[in-house]
Amino acid sequence: MDGRGADGPVEGGRPVDGRGADGPAGGERAGAVDERWRAGLELWRIPEEIAARAPADPWGHSPTRFAERTDRALAEPEGPTLARVAEALPPGGSVLDVGAGTGAASLPLAAALGELVAVDVSDAMLAELTSRAERLGVPARVVRGRWPAVAAETPAADVAVCAHVVYNVPDLAGFLTELTRHARRRVVLELTGRHPLSWLNPLWQHFHGVTRPSRPTARDVIDIAERLGYDVRHESRQAPLTRFTELEDLAESACRRLCLGPERADDVIAAVVELDMWPVPRDRWFTLWWDSP
């Protein structure tokens, strides 16, 4: 997954459950909303002087951690995202999973899948997905690359699903347009209510004196999709998983994200306790879907 919510946020603002939510001021074009989205993501760029001191990639993801989450999803498949995919999937149908990671948003539907097309930028993630697909007897075709750059070489499917990716997509309108073109029946998105690294904002202020942004949000994704003409339906729920079960795990992740060395783990734990950040609240997850035109 390109922008997975591994370390997801607490929802901000009003809920967006239901259908046909209020968008921005009437007449605003999809391009204008998309530009606001792009500008919002740009604010998440790590200041160069801080990034230059990072001992590890602050944006990296762990294939092992995502594989564990996929295994939990396989053991207990549930939730509105899987349900919205399943209800549009014909027997033996195909699913296109963009930003597939290790397959948490698609492999739990193995019994109904005739083919899985998985797109991801990570060879390691795709290897984990492929090994699980083989064990489950799911024919899987993998496409390595970033969507929509690889769209031309990717086959269409009955349902396209994209889970915890969109906060890494600057050109969201183009991304969603190509995703919809590749879905014969339905598009399903899963995302956190705010940027998946929002939980770190107090620590950015504490360690670096940097104020992180509060936008974009799931509301903005809905606005863009509606401006593109899609009949968007959506619901939200509390995330089924806690972000961290141990303070030590939080500290390890936070050190990497904050461009700190692992030797600062105790400092991070002390700051988390001082700022009353533990336990970290569960994320709010949103499922958005629309049927293909």
CA separation for the pair 218, 14 (Å, rounded): 11
Residue-wise pLDDT tens digits, 210-234:
999 999 999 999 999 999 999 999 9
| Mean pLDDT, range 118-141, rounded to an integer | 98
Q: Give residue 127's pLDDT.
A: 98
Nearest to 191 by CA among 225, 217, 152: 217
Distance (Å) of CA 279 to CA 86, 275, 276: 34, 11, 8
Domain 18-291 CATH (choose: 1.10.10.10, 3.30.470.20, 3.30.200.20, 3.40.50.150)? 3.40.50.150
Strand intervals (E) in 50-194: 93-98, 113-120, 140-144, 157-163, 183-192
pLDDT at 5 over 50: no
Given pLDDT bands bounded at 50, 70 and 90, which one contains residue 197? Answer: very high
Q: Where are the domains of the chain?
A: 18-291
pLDDT at 239 over 80: yes
| Mean pLDDT, range 60-76, rounded to an integer | 91
Relative to beta strand 157-163, strand 140-144 is: unpaired
CA separation for the pair 67, 75 (Å, rounded): 12
**Burial code of 255-292, b = ≥16 C-beta within 10 A, e = fewer?**
bbbbbbeeebbeebbebbeeeebeebebbbbbbbbbeb
Q: Give residue 263's pLDDT.
A: 98
Q: Give residue 1's pLDDT.
A: 43
Burial class (CB in 10 A: 0-12, 13-18, 19+), 14: exposed
3-state secondary structure at position 140: strand
| Mean pLDDT, range 190-217, rounded to an integer | 97
3-state secondary structure at position 153: helix
Given pLDDT bands bounded at 50, 70 and 90, which one contains residue 31? Answer: confident
**Region class of 229: left (phi > 0), else alpha (psi between -120 and 50), else beta:** left
Q: Are 227 and 26 in contact (CB under 8 A)?
A: no
Q: Give residue 28's pLDDT.
A: 65
Distance (Å) of CA 57 to CA 31, 33, 154, 257: 32, 30, 29, 8
Mean of per-residue pLDDT scores for the chain:
91
Q: Give residue 38's pLDDT.
A: 96
pTM above threshold 0.85: yes
Distance (Å) of CA 184 to CA 94, 279, 290: 10, 42, 11
Q: Give residue 25's pLDDT.
A: 37
Q: Give residue 10's pLDDT.
A: 26
At 182, give phi and psi (nearest 5°). Answer: -95, 5
Residue-wise pLDDT tens digits, 268-284:
999 999 999 999 999 99
